Amino acid sequence: MNPETLAMVMFGTLFVTLFLGHPLAFSLGILALVFGVLGWGGDVDVVFNLLANRAYGVMEEYVLVAVPLFIFMAQVLDSTGIAERLFESMHIIMGPVRGGLALAVIIACTIFAATAGVVGATEVSVGLLAVPALMAKKYHIPLIAGSICAGGTLGIIIPPSIMLVVYGSLAALSVGHLYAAAFGPGMLLSLLYVLYIAVACAIKPEYGPPLPKEERIYSIGYKVKVFITSLFPAIVLVVVVLGSILAGVATPTEAAGMGCAGAVLLALLYRKLSWKALYDASWATFLTTAMVMTLFLGGNAFQAVFMGLGGGEMVTNMLVGTEAGYYGVLFIMMGIVFFLGMFIDWLGILLIVIPIFMPVAMEMGFNQIWFSILICINLQMAFLTPPFGYSLFYLRGIAPPEMTIVHIYKGVLPFICLQWVALILCILFPDIILWLPKVAFGAGAIR
């Protein structure tokens, strides 16, 4: 069997192991070892040397230090209750508007996403408060489910996103450029969600009734006070983390460190800082980082062997030679990522597709930053697409019995369509992605 055919068998075997339910990290590593030995004539030493070098390369990747720092930051912010404060302030301000509580969910999630960068923390924190409040006001149950799930997924695309740090490391791209590029699409998605909820509640008022007049008891002064005390600290944190990166003052890793210090300071100011909170945040960070890095090691091993067998070149030739054209090849790749998102989490998809698709993107002349953000927008859908969307199960875990899994599936479908709308808009109008990187770093720095 020639090496290229062996690489394709290796890729097919990976999907078999995944559908059988085997852990992704170990599937990637073991397949790399087995097919490396087969592809290099049974020379185990060559394969072990290759895998050891790739593992050492992962350990040397400075930008990956930002991963545990951003995770710790999100965990500490979760313990401060900043998400709850954001939702409560939006609740007070938006309550009199038709569909206002659902709009408050999206706005609160958008702001919290810009400080946390993790889906689970955003969705669970906001969801625990929002679900009872919206259910009590007789909001349409699928709309409740869809708005909370979709709002939570903003944490994976709006900087400081963990996914963008991982992507930058895997694709050898500047994380600062990716952060700047993701800001526009993240805001576009949030705007589309807000418009959808507003239009849906305007057409069908029973979907999102406004608060009755007797419950609008808060004065303008109180609203301003709540707004400032909940929103101002979040804005400061965003400026410290994202602003320092865009201004060139700090690297993503250094900004992550400042973000951790800011999160701890917020916990102290809100009187939520305790040894138990720090311990819980540290332990959760340790577990999540260990999972990410184990996947990284397995993915790098798989990538090294697959590319060494000529699999990447073979896929590039196949896609470029389809005569599907510029947009045809792009939509084939987007379709593959979307399909994988139904069954595999975002990190697994990145580890599988980046080494294969980035050479295709360069061969087709795609702007690498633009193409990368398209992949990341697509991966956001992986959190919502049945049957295995993580956001669906996050919500199911905190939802009352009245909200069934059918309600959740039905609720996310319009938002998946909106994510496709955002993806297509970003394809047709690349400056949605590229305008901020050009402003922050100059047109010549964006490749």
Structure tokens at 252: 């993503």
pLDDT band at 433 (very low <50, low <70, confident <90, very high): very high
Lowest mean pLDDT among 290-294, 317-321, 353-357: 317-321
In this prediction, residue 238 carries a pLDDT of 78
Residue 51 confidence (pLDDT) above 80:
no
Q: How many residues comprise the chain?
A: 447
Determine the pLDDT at residue 189: 94
Average pLDDT, stretch 235-245? 80
Query: CA dist 275 to 3, 105, 288, 344, Å?
Result: 55, 30, 20, 36
Give CA separation, 249 vs 176, 252, 298, in Å.
11, 10, 34
Structure tokens at 1: 């069997």
Q: What is the pLDDT of residue 114?
A: 78
Q: Look at the block and give the residue holding tokens 């050492």.
A: 56
Question: Residues 101, 76: contact at Cβ < 8 Å?
Answer: no
Output Rg (C-alpha) for the chain, integer angstroms.
Answer: 22
- Residue 48 CB partners (closer than 8 Å, separation 6+): none
CA–CA distance, 429 with 433 (Å, rounded to integer): 8
pLDDT tens for 370-414 read 999 999 999 888 888 877 677 887 787 778 888 888 888 888 999
Q: Which of 100-109, 182-191, 241-250 has maximum average pLDDT?
A: 182-191
Percentage of the chain lying above the pLDDT 70 cut: 89
pLDDT at 325: 74
Using CA atoms, how far residue 341 sits from 9, 56, 387, in Å, is 21, 29, 10
As a whole number of angstroms, the distance between CA 354 and CA 350 comes to 6
How far from chain centre, in Å, is Cα 18? 21
Q: 356: pLDDT confidence band, cut at 50, 70 and 90?
A: confident
Residue ranges covered by each domain of the chain: 5-445
What confidence tens digit (pLDDT) does each residue in 140-191 have? 889 888 998 888 888 888 888 888 888 888 888 888 889 889 999 999 999 9
How many CB atoms are located within 10 Å of the residue 220 CB? 7
Task: Using the predicted structure, report yes or no on whether residue 422 has a pLDDT greater than 70.
Answer: yes
Report the mean per-residue pLDDT for the chain: 81
Ordered DSSP codes for 224-245: HHHHHHHHHHHHHHHIIIIIHH
Tell me the pLDDT tens digit for each residue of 143-157.
Answer: 888 998 888 888 888
CB 303 within 8 A of CB 36: no
CA–CA dist 142, 196 (Å, integer):
13
Q: Is the pTM higher than 0.75?
A: yes
